[in-house]
């Protein structure tokens, strides 16, 4: 169902059951999966692919050219999964370097004025509140929550099941299962309520709480804290992911 005022390029591919509302623009290389809904005044352009059941609200702009001044041309892509919601004025930009892609997983909810810059890599089940902003090359793992007006510096990573407070300025990585807040952001505590709501076992929450204390309360270097965690705390997939995430940090973690 395409509104008469919409502009859809003849080469664009629209899946079964797609709805394109008034004054929308769909570009030449766009692929919309089944049952995507573009309410009105939505722009989807560039080499952009959306999976099934995505919903785009008025003035969302998806897949347009990067704002990065290092862009020199070439073919860049924007790849988006299924069941995502892009509220009013959300912007998602394509990658910068030839052959690269901005990627967004599935079941994410992006509130009004959220910005996803070039080359971001997002997982699934993420919530970003109004005006939250990711700079280029930011990675956000599954089930993270980013508060309104929060800003994340380029190349930072946001760990899974973490939560970032509103208006936070994130300039280093936020570890998985933790809460970050402040300007600049600091790791405040584990995301206890979030973990409990997502069904984490009490013993896992307790162990992650102990890991937080070792990392941020005992005055140890990060490397020594990780050694202590591996030696003294009960092993679990969550603990292994936390340790691996911190060891892989290039910008350092928010302390």
3-state SS class at 153: coil
Beta bridge partner(s), residue 64? 93
Verify whether residue 118 is a known catalytic residue: yes
Residue among 21, 51, 136, 159 flagged as catalytic:
136
Taking alpha carbons only, the member of 139, 111, 106, 138 closest to residue 125 is: 106
Taking alpha carbons only, the member of 124, 111, 148, 153 closest to residue 136 is: 153
Q: Which two tokens stand for residue 201?
A: 């076992």
Taking alpha carbons only, the member of 16, 14, 15, 20 closest to residue 1 is: 20
Verify whether residue 41 is a known catalytic residue: no
Q: Which two tokens stand for residue 151?
A: 């800003």
Residue among 45, 68, 82, 119 flagged as catalytic:
119
Triad 165, 210, 244: Cα angle to 5°: 75
Helix (H) or strand (E) holding 185: strand 185-190
Verify whether residue 119 is a known catalytic residue: yes
Residue among 115, 118, 143, 153 flagged as catalytic:
118
- Residues with catalytic function: 118-119, 136
């Amino acid at each position: 169902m395409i509104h008469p005022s919409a502009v859809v390029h003849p080469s664009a591919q629209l899946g079964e059951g797609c709805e394109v509302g008034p004054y929308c623009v769909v570009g030449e290389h766009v692929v919309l999966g089944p049952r995507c809904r573009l309410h009105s005044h939505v722009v989807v352009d560039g080499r952009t692919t959306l999976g099934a059941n995505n919903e785009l609200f008025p003035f969302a702009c998806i897949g347009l050219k990067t704002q990065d001044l290092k862009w020199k041309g070439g073919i860049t892509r924007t790849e988006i999964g299924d069941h995502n919601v892009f509220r009013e004025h959300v912007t998602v930009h394509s990658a910068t370097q030839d052959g690269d892609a901005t990627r967004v997983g599935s079941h994410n909810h992006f509130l009004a004025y959220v910005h996803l810059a070039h080359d971001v890599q997002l997982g699934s089940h993420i919530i970003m509140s109004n005006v939250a902003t990711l700079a280029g090359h930011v990675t956000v793992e599954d089930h993270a929550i980013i508060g309104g007006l929060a800003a994340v510096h380029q190349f930072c990573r946001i760990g899974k099941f973490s939560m970032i407070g509103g208006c936070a300025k994130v300039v280093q990585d936020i570890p998985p299962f933790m809460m970050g807040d402040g300007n600049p952001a600091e790791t405040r505590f584990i995301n206890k309520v979030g973990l409990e709501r997502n069904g984490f076992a009490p013993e896992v929450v307790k162990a992650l709480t102990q890991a937080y204390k070792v990392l941020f309360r005992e005055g140890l270097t990060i490397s020594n804290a990780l050694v202590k965690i591996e030696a003294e705390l009960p092993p679990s997939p969550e603990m292994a992911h936390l340790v691996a995430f911190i060891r892989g940090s290039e910008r350092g973690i928010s302390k």
